[in-house]
């Protein structure tokens, strides 16, 4: 057995691709391009600015956007905050109603609830049993003062895809701004901001083999949209997000975006095959279900409910396989996943669920090994549970 743990937690974060790290390293030290991209008076500044603008083009290309529509941020958490608070805060609270889904990441739910506390209107939509928010559900929630709808493209726990193009159509019909948290979609499925009719789209580099701590917000160039900055000082990023641009980080996200653009279809196919084989290898254990399994999903996600097994215990038994119970962001607490609960799972079923997420560096050997380990662990835990109750 290999001593390296098997990494099945690509939805929590991905390792930086070596090709990305290499290019980042050329933008840090004295022998590289270390200037401030905002320095207009010398070559090192111009070179850094060029590197940053190349990255902007690469990210824009991946989203089907114009480079002038990309605002750099520190990640999807900041992008979501900028999108939601940046739209809402230009209205008086009583003049602004927001629609989100109960299955959104905390980086959408928390800003939305923060605004609700300030008096803004908020509707939190429940998904169907597969975790999907339909365009119909969104349409029914709209009010005369609805200003923003925020629905994620792919869920971080289940990988389930929402019909964002349909939801975008509903928003366009009502002239309502549409924000999409695409942190789990970019790099996994084709993303096109025009197909989605999205006004705002959040992106995070570390979910697609770029570095942590950098992301982007797509902001549609449309005269009716102004976005209030959440970070002031210096007026970078056309006033929407101040702060010295982190050249190496941006080269990182740009290179990662470029690699994704080249390989998206092949890579998705390969990962989905491995993911499906993992499922086929354990499906006959009995009393086991894919959470959201009837809906379209990202290629790498497999969120499984194991009947008669506690997820924490199973995770412990699978010590050298890195997986998550619920989402990584809530794994500090033992609360059952609110995403699975919104889909109608009981506390017990949510606690009995594990998320396996595969990615670029997952191998056939790892999948085969994991199948053996999971089978043994589930059988052992179920036998234990039986002898404990008899």
Ligand X SMILES: *Cc1c(COP(=O)(O)O)cnc(C)c1O
Which residues have a catalytic role annotated? 329
- For ligand X, the binding residues in 280-339 under the rule CB under 6 A are none
**Smallest distance, ligand X to C-beta of residue 359, A:** 13
Residue 184 or 324: which CB sits closer to ligand X? 184
Distance of CA 170 to the CA centre of its chain: 23
CA-to-CA distance for 66 and 170, rounded, in angstroms?
23
3-state DSSP assignment of residue 215: strand
Residue 158 or 199: which CB sits closer to ligand X? 158
Contact, 54 vs 254, CB < 8 A?
yes
- For ligand X, the binding residues in 173-202 under the rule CB under 6 A are 181, 183-184
CA-to-CA distance for 228 and 87, rounded, in angstroms?
7
Residue 14 or 47: which CB sits closer to ligand X? 14
**Smallest distance, ligand X to C-beta of residue 42, A:** 32
**Smallest distance, ligand X to C-beta of residue 29, A:** 26
In angstroms, how far apart are the furthest CA atoms of the chain?
79
Alpha helices in 143-233 (DSSP H): 164-173
From 23, 27, 97, 105, residue interacting with ligand X (rule: CB under 6 A): 105
Q: What is the total count of residues that contact ligand X (CB under 6 A)?
A: 13
Nearest residue to 189 via CA among 217, 164, 211, 224: 164
Residue 152 is a binding residue for ligand X (CB under 6 A): yes
Residue 47 or 73: which CB sits closer to ligand X? 73
Three-state secondary structure string covering 253-298:
HHHHHHHHHHHHHHHHHHHHHHHHHHHHHHHHHCCEEECCCCCCEC
Residue 152 or 282: which CB sits closer to ligand X? 152
Q: Which residue has the tokens 């993992």?
A: 278
Nearest residue to 277 via CA among 364, 207, 362, 215: 364
From 162, 204, 325, 337, residue interacting with ligand X (rule: CB under 6 A): 204
Residue 127 is a binding residue for ligand X (CB under 6 A): no
Q: Per-residue contact track with ligand X, 30 to 69, x per CB under 6 A? A: ----------------------------------------
From 121, 215, 254, 300, residue interacting with ligand X (rule: CB under 6 A): 215
CA-to-CA distance for 307 and 270, rounded, in angstroms?
29
Q: Which token pair is 276?
A: 């499906």
**Smallest distance, ligand X to C-beta of residue 10, A:** 11
- For ligand X, the binding residues in 66-95 under the rule CB under 6 A are 75-77
Residue 137 or 155: which CB sits closer to ligand X? 155
Nearest residue to 339 via CA among 135, 102, 128, 11: 102
Q: Which token pair is 352?
A: 């009995």
Q: Which token pair is 58?
A: 């690469």
Residue 33 or 275: which CB sits closer to ligand X? 275
3-state DSSP assignment of residue 217: strand
Residue 150 is a binding residue for ligand X (CB under 6 A): no
Residue 215 or 252: which CB sits closer to ligand X? 215
**Smallest distance, ligand X to C-beta of residue 157, A:** 9
Q: Are strands 321-322 and 353-357 parallel, antiparallel or unpaired?
A: unpaired
**Smallest distance, ligand X to C-beta of residue 331, A:** 13
Alpha helices in the chain (DSSP H): 18-25, 43-63, 76-88, 106-117, 135-141, 164-173, 247-282, 311-317, 338-342, 347-351, 364-389
**Smallest distance, ligand X to C-beta of residue 308, A:** 30
**Smallest distance, ligand X to C-beta of residue 105, A:** 3
- Count the neighbouring beta carbons within 10 Å of the beta carbon of residue 143: 11
Residue nearest to ligand X (CB): 75
Residue 107 is a binding residue for ligand X (CB under 6 A): yes
Residue 230 is a binding residue for ligand X (CB under 6 A): no
Distance of CA 350 to the CA centre of its chain: 20
Q: Which stretches of the chain bind ligand X, using CB under 6 A?
A: 75-77, 105, 107, 152, 156, 181, 183-184, 204, 207, 215
């Amino acid at each position: 057995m290999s001593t390296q743990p098997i990494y099945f937690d690509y939805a929590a974060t991905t390792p930086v691709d070596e090709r990305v790290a290499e290019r980042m390293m050329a933008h840090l030290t004295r022998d590289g391009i270390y200037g401030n991209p905002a320095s207009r008076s010398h070559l090192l500044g111009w070179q850094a600015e060029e590197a940053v603008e190349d990255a902007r083009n690469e990210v824009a290309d991946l989203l089907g956007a114009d480079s002038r529509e990309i605002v750099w941020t520190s990640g999807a958490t900041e992008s979501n905050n900028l999108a939601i608070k940046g739209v809402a805060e230009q209205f008086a609270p009583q003049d602004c109603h927001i629609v989100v889904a109960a299955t959104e990441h905390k980086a959408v739910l928390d800003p939305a609830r923060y605004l609700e506390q300030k008096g803004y209107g908020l509707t939190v939509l429940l998904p169907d049993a597969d975790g999907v928010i339909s365009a119909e559900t969104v349409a029914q929630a709209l009010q005369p003062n609805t200003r923003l709808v925020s629905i994620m493209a792919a869920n971080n726990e289940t990988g389930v895809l929402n019909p964002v193009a349909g939801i975008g159509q509903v928003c366009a019909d009502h002239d309502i701004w549409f924000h999409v948290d695409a942190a789990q979609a970019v790099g996994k499925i084709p993303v096109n901001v025009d197909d989605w009719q999205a006004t705002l789209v959040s992106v995070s580099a570390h979910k697609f083999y770029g570095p942590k701590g950098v992301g982007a917000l797509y902001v549609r160039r449309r005269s009716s949209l102004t976005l209030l900055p959440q970070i002031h000082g210096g007026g970078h990023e056309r006033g929407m997000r101040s702060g010295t641009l982190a050249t190496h980080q941006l080269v990182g996200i740009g290179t990662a975006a470029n690699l994704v653009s080249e390989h998206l279809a092949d890579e998705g196919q390969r990962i989905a095959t491995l993911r499906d084989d993992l499922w086929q290898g354990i499906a006959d254990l009995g009393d086991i279900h894919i959470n959201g399994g009837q809906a379209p999903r990202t290629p790498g996600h497999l969120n499984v409910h194991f009947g008669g097994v506690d997820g924490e215990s199973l995770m412990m038994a699978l010590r050298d396989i890195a997986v998550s119970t619920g989402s990584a962001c809530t794994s500090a607490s033992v609360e059952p996943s609110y995403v699975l609960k919104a889909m109608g799972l009981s506390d017990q079923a949510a606690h009995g669920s594990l998320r396996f997420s595969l990615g670029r560096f997952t191998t056939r050997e790892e999948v085969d090994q994991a199948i053996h380990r999971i089978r043994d662990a589930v059988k052992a835990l179920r036998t234990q549970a039986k002898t404990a109750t008899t």
